[in-house]
Amino acid sequence: MKYKLLYAVAVMLVLIACGSDQSADATQVGIALQDVTPMHGHSGMTDGGILRVQHVRAFVNSGYVISGATTTSIRFNGESIDSLNSHSISSNTDRITVPANYSYAMVQCSLAVRNTVTLGNSDYIQLRVNGSAIYGITLIPYAPAFYDATVTTPAIMINVSAADVIKCELVSAVAGSNYTISGSVNGEFGLFSATFYR
């Protein structure tokens, strides 16, 4: 009896994870979906035992330099997933736009960077929605010059509405602290992802 119940629960969770549009009710976010293979070409990532099926996964496909003492929206000119057409690789590549009929988004940003001068503790990346910063993380505190690092925001759930604009920004407070944002051909780093929930 115990095994039949466990099997029934497993089948229910697979059906939830493999729905026709890969969307989910926000109340399902806390369900542990382990060892479930995502379908329909989506990328599955396990985060604390929770399966996240990403609707958009963009990346920096060609590295470039940004100036210090600025707040710069990062350009993500490549993508491996965009099932809801919420990101463009030809215009406004620095943003993910929330599609209609979704109320929540789980977003995350990761950058591979190299700084040109010794830093303090005031340079960081942040996520921003409609011009308002929602999460900031220190980039490379007290790092020496020409230090290579990858920094990642936690995946966070935010309330959203249709057409909201989500960006990943690098905030530099040190003049002359130019950054090289590293690119990758296959999206190994320099990532910007979102999963939407109803």
Per the CB < 8 A criterion, the answer to whether 136 and 82 are in contact is no
In a shared domain, residues 46 and 79: no
Q: Could you tell me the pLDDT band of residue 121, with boundaries at 50, 70 and 90?
A: low
In a shared domain, residues 70 and 39: no
List the Cα angle 52/56/61 in 5-degree steps.
Answer: 120
CATH code where residue 185 lies: 2.60.120.40
Q: Could you tell me the pLDDT band of residue 120, with boundaries at 50, 70 and 90?
A: low
In a shared domain, residues 65 and 162: yes
pTM summary value: 0.73
In a shared domain, residues 22 and 78: no
How many whole angstroms separate alpha carbon 84 and alpha carbon 193?
12
In a shared domain, residues 40 and 66: no
Average pLDDT over residues 124-147: 83
- Identify the domain containing residue 16 by its residue range: 2-53
Q: pLDDT > 70: what percent of the chain? A: 68
- Residue 3, helix vs strand vs coil: helix
How many whole angstroms separate alpha carbon 56 and alpha carbon 31?
21
| CA-CA-CA-CA dihedral for 159, 163, 168, 169, to nearest 10 | -110
pLDDT tens for residues 1-26?
444 444 444 444 444 444 434 444 33
How many whole angstroms separate alpha carbon 112 and alpha carbon 116?
14
In a shared domain, residues 49 and 135: no
**87, pLDDT greater than 50:** yes
In a shared domain, residues 88 and 157: yes
In a shared domain, residues 63 and 37: no
Query: How many separate domains does the chain show?
Result: 2
Least confident of 70-74, 85-89, 142-146: 142-146
Q: Which residue has the tokens 């959203």?
A: 160
pLDDT tens for residues 28-54?
333 232 323 333 333 444 444 344 578
In a shared domain, residues 138 and 112: yes
In a shared domain, residues 91 and 184: yes
Joined tokens for residue 145? 């010059």
In a shared domain, residues 46 and 80: no
Position 141 scores a pLDDT of 63
pLDDT tens for residues 182-195?
888 766 678 999 99
End-to-end CA separation in angstroms for the chain? 34
